[in-house]
Amino acid sequence: MLDPSTAPSPPTEQEVLLAIRTIARDELDIAREVVPDDDLVKDLRLDSMQRITLAVALDEYFGVKVTQDAAVHVRTIGDLVGLVIELARARA
C-alpha cells in the first residue's frame, strides 16, 4: 500500500512560474522574463506549436497532462500556473 506521506506534493506557484520562465527562455527563445499577467498570444506571441512545446515541457517537468480541453481557458501565464497546480493536486 502506498504511503500518502511519501507522495510528491503539488508544486508551488513560484516553482511553476520558474519552470515556465526557464522553458520560455531555453525552448521558446523568449529573451525577457515572463510574468503572470503576460498573455500567451498577445504579449508573448506564442503560436500553436510553441504552446504545445510549453505544454509538453510542463508535462515532462511536473508529470501533468496539459490537454487542449484543460487549457481551453488558459490565456495568461498566471492562468497556466494555476492549471498546472490544479492538475498536480488532482494527480496527488
pLDDT in tens, 57-80: 999 999 999 988 888 899 999 999
Question: Using 50, 70 and 90 to split pLDDT, how confident is the model at 2?
Answer: very low
DSSP conformation class of 4 = G
Name which residue leads in pLDDT, 82 or 6.
Answer: 82
- How far out from the chain centre does Cα 57 lie? 8
CA neighbor of 85 nearest in space, from 13, 6, 2:
13
**Backbone conformation region of residue 80, classed left if phi is above 0, alpha if psi is from -120 to 50, else beta:** alpha
Question: Does the domain formed by 10-91 have CATH 3.40.50.12500?
Answer: no
Question: Using 50, 70 and 90 to split pLDDT, how confident is the model at 8?
Answer: low
Q: What is the pTM of this model?
A: 0.87
